[in-house]
């Protein structure tokens, strides 16, 4: 038995780690060259302490001396902002699901693969050699283009073009979210086990039936789980868009901050946290029952 001699090649994992470390060094050097993480001076520290200590006692009523007449109580206002956040997120998700389902179909390889359309049929041949790959490629390019613009940037774009409307906010969130859903849906459909589809095809079902009843149900639990996760992300994005005008939680966080009412800021932060925690719990409960 000869011992292993000679230099060992660097494994792929180690190479990846080295790459990450090297890039990290570059990143820190570059950022430090711009400015060092300022050793906080006294005023900064007191500001941070003042803000963080507000966590223990969020405001339950307005903190300013003069409250405009007819303004709802603070907690009601927080609830209304939460409601608006949910409205925008839900509308955006409804659009995103439609877009995701359609684009996801075209961006998957399943609908023109031999397993589904039957290896020998004319339909399969025409799809594979003709439009199949072209449609797939254009769908992927479209998805990439839609995804790479952040929803905030879409929102800035639409707000500049159309002004402040709810539809602009919803579409701004729906575009990248729909594209992300399409990408994940297409991957889940492609990776789903094809045992049921094969059984249906062997029993003589047509391509559409094989796809709809054999392939999609196998991927549906994972698709549903991811869609629920996306809904949670939509809630967060909807809250953040409030910084640009819509009356979601972000707007009031910014307003209260600018008035130095840290208690109110924490109230809105806790409302957002409660909203996300509720969505997280609900989607977890649903996901457990998907698998069952």
Partner 1 sequence: MIDRLEHVRSLQLDRPRSRFLRWSMAALVALMVAAWGSSELSFEDAFSARRRANAARFLGEIVPYPLQGRPFDATVAVDWGRDRLEDASGAVGTTLAISVAAAVLAALAGLLLAVPAARNLASPEALVDATAAPSFAARAAWAALVATVRAFMIFVRSVPEYIWAFLLVQLLGFDAWPAVFALALHNTGILGKLTAETLEDADQSPARALRALGATRTQAVITALAPQILPRFLLYFFYRWETCLREATVLGMLGVVSLGSLVRDARVSNFYDEMVLYVAIAAALVLAGDLLSAAARAIVRRAS
Q: Considering only residues 1, 4, 7, 30, which one is a binding residue for partner 1 as defined by CB under 8 A?
A: 30
Smallest separation (angstroms) from partner 1 to the CB of 156? 6
Q: How far is CA 270 from the centre of its chain?
A: 21
For residues 85 and 239, the answer to whether their CB atoms sit within 8 Å is yes
Cα-Cα-Cα-Cα dihedral sign, residues 81, 83, 86, 90? negative
Site string for partner 1, 203-242 (x = CB under 8 A): ---------------------------------xx-xx--
Residue 168 or 192: the one with the smaller Cβ distance to partner 1 is: 168
53 binds partner 1 (CB under 8 A): no
Please tell me what DSSP assigns to residue 119: S
Residue 40 or 121: the one with the smaller Cβ distance to partner 1 is: 40
Q: Which of 265, 275, 197 is nearest to 57 (CA)?
A: 265
Residue 127 or 181: the one with the smaller Cβ distance to partner 1 is: 181
Smallest separation (angstroms) from partner 1 to the CB of 249? 9
Cα-Cα-Cα-Cα dihedral sign, residues 153, 250, 247, 255? negative
Please tell me what DSSP assigns to residue 38: -
Residue 1 or 56: the one with the smaller Cβ distance to partner 1 is: 56
Site string for partner 1, 57-86 (x = CB under 8 A): ---------------------------x-x
132 binds partner 1 (CB under 8 A): no
271 binds partner 1 (CB under 8 A): no
Q: In the chain, what's the furthest Cα-to-Cα distance?
A: 90
Segment 239 to 268, residues that bind partner 1, using CB under 8 A: 239-240, 243, 246-247, 250, 253-254, 257
Q: Rounded CA gap, 79 and 264, in Å?
A: 13
181 binds partner 1 (CB under 8 A): no
Q: Which of 279, 199, 283, 203 is nearest to 235 (CA)?
A: 279
CB half-sphere exposure, 146, CA atoms < 13 A: 23
128 binds partner 1 (CB under 8 A): no
Q: Considering only residues 118, 128, 209, 280, which one is a binding residue for partner 1 as defined by CB under 8 A?
A: 280
């Amino acid at each position: 038995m000869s011992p292993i001699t000679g230099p060992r090649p660097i494994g792929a994992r180690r190479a990846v780690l080295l790459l990450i470390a090297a890039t990290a060094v570059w990143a820190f050097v570059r950022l430090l060259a711009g400015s060092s993480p300022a050793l906080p001076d006294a005023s900064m520290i007191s500001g941070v302490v003042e803000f963080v200590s507000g966590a223990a006692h969020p405001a339950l009523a307005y903190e300013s001396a003069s409250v405009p007449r007819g303004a709802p109580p603070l907690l009601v206002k927080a609830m209304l902002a939460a409601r608006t956040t949910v409205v925008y997120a839900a509308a955006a998700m409804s659009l995103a699901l439609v877009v995701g389902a359609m684009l996801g179909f075209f961006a998957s390889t399943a609908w023109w693969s031999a397993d589904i359309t039957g290896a020998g049929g004319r339909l399969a041949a025409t799809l594979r050699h003709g439009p199949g790959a072209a449609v797939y490629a254009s769908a992927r390019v479209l998805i990439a283009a839609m995804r790479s613009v952040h929803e905030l940037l879409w929102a800035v774009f639409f707000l500049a073009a159309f002004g402040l409307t709810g539809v602009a906010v919803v579409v701004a969130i729906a575009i990248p979210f729909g594209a992300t859903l399409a990408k994940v849906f297409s991957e889940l459909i492609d990776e789903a086990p094809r045992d049921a589809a094969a059984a249906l095809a062997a029993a003589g079902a047509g391509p559409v039936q094989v796809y709809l009843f054999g392939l999609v149900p196998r991927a549906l639990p994972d698709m549903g789980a991811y869609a629920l996760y996306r809904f949670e992300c939509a809630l967060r994005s909807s809250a953040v868009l409030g910084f640009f005008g819509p009356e979601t939680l972000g707007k009031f966080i910014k307003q209260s901050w600018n008035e130095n009412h840290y208690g109110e800021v924490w109230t809105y932060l806790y409302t957002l946290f409660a909203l996300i925690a509720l969505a997280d719990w609900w989607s977890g409960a649903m996901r457990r029952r998907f698998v069952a």
